[in-house]
Amino acid sequence: MNENIDKEGIKEQIVTIAMNVFSKFGFKKTTLDDIAESLGKGKSSIYYYFKSKEEIYKEVIKKEADLLRNEIYEKVINRDIDPREKLRDYVLIRMRFLRELVNFNEALRNDYLKNFAFVDKIRERYDKEEHEVIEGILREGRDKDIFVVDETNFAAMAFVTAMKGFEIPLFIKQELSVEDLEEQLDAMLHILFYGLVKK
């Protein structure tokens, strides 16, 4: 039993160190030697726990995805707040956290990682969960008579698409600061909540 606990503890240590190494060099440029050096161990000791760099990366991505999921549930979904505030908080927390989760971000965006089946599965799961979260917030707002939306599935799809539009300047071009993001987000939410047409 203790041996299993120790083994899991060492695996977790390898994943945590690897998370920083992958963040620094990216998946392509990182080698097992880089990870072993950061751990202060030989490469052969890593092979005892993981078969390949890809296997370690998979665990890193899963860990970062869990960190994001936990943050969103703790700070948005599980809070009893106005659905308008929930939508705003969801987007801000998601954007801020994604900016910090370099490896998860790389897995979501870089085409060369599409060759790995586990990356596709993680992307699919993330997209599905995101759609469900947004639709849940929209449904809650409709049920509380705050949002006038009949088709929450379509509205969630439109919202997610608009939200992903912010990712290009925020992550790829690094042009948009988090403060600018908040300002643009408020403008987008104003249109979403109040529409474009004068009443």
Q: Are 49 and 36 in contact (CB under 8 A)?
A: no
Q: What is the pTM of this model?
A: 0.79
pLDDT of residue 133: 94
Average pLDDT value for residue range 24-50: 91
pLDDT of residue 50: 93
The structure tokens listed for 109 are 């965006």
Q: Which pLDDT tens digit goes with each residue over 55-73?
A: 999 999 989 989 989 999 9
In angstroms, rounded to a whole number, what is the distance separating the alpha carbons of residues 178 and 31? Answer: 32
